[in-house]
Amino acid sequence: MADQVAHLAHLNARDTTLAYASRAPQPDIKRVKARMGWTMPWYTMTDGFDTDFGVDEWHGTNAFIRDGGRVFRTYFINNRGDEALGSTWSYLDLTALGRQEDWEDSPEGYPQAPPYAWWNWHDEYDDAKPPQ
Amino acid sequence: MRLDLNRNGDIAMKTPPIVSPHEWEAARQQLLVKEKDLTRARDALAAERRRMPWLVVEKEYQFDGPNGKASLAKRACWTCSRAAVS
């Protein structure tokens, strides 16, 4: 799945990121990331996160939103539902706030801006930073 | 690869008809109607998804990251408040 993922600078420009989590220790993850040229953040689970969030058996994708110190789970999808993911749009469509574009049917007060106006080259966003 | 034979080289593949540019464009336009319906249906589903209730994450899950310990509240991306975790 990680081979399908678009450059995360575009997600980051919508105040959103994608992180992977697995049971593998960090040295193994580092080695695979280097071999595959992957740059997304990838964490090692140390507790019951996998069973609590449906990723103990096989892959699954959870969406979270953080508000100050509070974190909410807003969505979960697995099997064929998340194997199709990869584009920036496919991930934004799963998040609580969506693409944050003004054509979207979103609840009142949600952040929205004109489509494509926020889109940029991945190394030309104002707050472009190298991924961790 | 030869399209008139399958992978085993024994059974002919039943491929679609070969048509004129005009007929090909007509067929494409006919399919496009359904494809646009699907795109709009996907947008409507995403709108419904944004109205899903939220669940508080009560536990403070701990992760090992490339720069040491991490948690959902301590962000993977410093500027981000949203995350999709695979």
Listed by start position, the domains of chain A span 2-92
Q: Which two tokens stand for residue B47?
A: 């709108």
Whether residues A75 and B49 touch (CB distance < 8 A) is answered with: yes
What confidence tens digit (pLDDT) does each residue in A85-121 have? 999 999 999 999 999 999 999 999 999 999 988 999 9
Polymer length in residues for chain A? 132
What confidence tens digit (pLDDT) does each residue in B70-81 have? 998 865 544 455
End-to-end CA separation in angstroms for chain B: 38
Residue B56 sits at the vertex; the CA angle it makes with B53 and B62, to the nearest 5 degrees, is 135
Q: What is the pLDDT of residue A112?
A: 94
Chain B: give the shortest CA distance to residue A98, in Å: 7
Which residues of chain B make contact with A66, given a CB cutoff of 8 A? 72-73, 75, 81-83
How many Cβ pairs closer than 8 A exist between chain A and B? Answer: 163
Query: How do beta strands A16-22 and A42-45 pair?
Result: parallel
